[in-house]
A = this chain, B = another copy of it.
Amino acid sequence: MSISMAKGEKTKSKILEKAASLASICGLEDMSIGKLAKATGLSKSGLFAHFNSKENLQTQVVQWVAEMFTEQVMRPAFNEPRGIPRIRGIFENWKDWIEGDSLPGGCIMIASSTEFDDKPGAVRDEIVGMMSDLLQSLTRTARIAIEEGHFKADSDPKQFAFEFESLLHGYHLLQRLLKDPDARKRSDTAFERLIESYQADLPKPH
């Protein structure tokens, strides 16, 4: 009766998956329960019963996306060696993620950041937490690069995280709004310049 966790959770996952797709295209607010019900084949009220408010649904979509992001962008990169290779891994995976390999509408985290920055409430709080965690992860990864001697010892890891994150936002703009065919090249160039400027002098002698 209590440890079951059966059918309900299964369909809830299906719903959240569709919801993430839908929200990535039309936004978390514009994603209505009616549309989502149609997309999943459920009835509006049947779907609603899983979450007990729209705010709840939105919040859980954000959590779902955050897990997805961790799984597809961060975790694979942590198989890379510590330091710059790992940072490069995050960069590459994140670009793929933005291009819509997972969500058809691109990176919800970036989109919802601007959508909810002036809408107080539980959803905003969730997004703030998610983005804070992300920046913290990036900061940690930069700190590791310092420890490994890849980055200059006096580098500011939080500063690096900020500049790294900014770059991805820029890529998002070029790729998804402007559909600039040079988007990858532009962000790659900027990324190399960024790495270079943080990189420790005296690269290993060839």
Contact = CB atoms under 8 A, between A and B. Distances in A.
A70 interface: no
A170 interface: yes
B177 A162 contact: no
A13 interface: no
Contact of A176 (B105, B117, B176, B197): B117
Given A159-B190, A177-B113, A118 B132 contact: no
Contacts of A171: 166
Chain copies in complex: 2
Residue among A29, A113, A174 having the largest count of chain B Cβ atoms under 10 Å: A113
Interface in A17-37: 24-27, 29-30
20 contacts: A24-B118, A25-B119, A27-B115, A30-B30, A104-B118, A106-B117, A106-B118, A114-B173, A115-B115, A117-B176, A128-B177, A131-B177, A131-B178, A135-B178, A159-B189, A165-B170, A166-B166, A166-B169, A166-B171, A166-B190
Q: Which 6 A-B pairs have the closest CB atoms?
A: A166-B170, A169-B169, A117-B177, A117-B176, A111-B114, A105-B118
Contacts of A195: none
Nearest to A160: B190
Interface string A161-192: 01101110111111011100000001101100
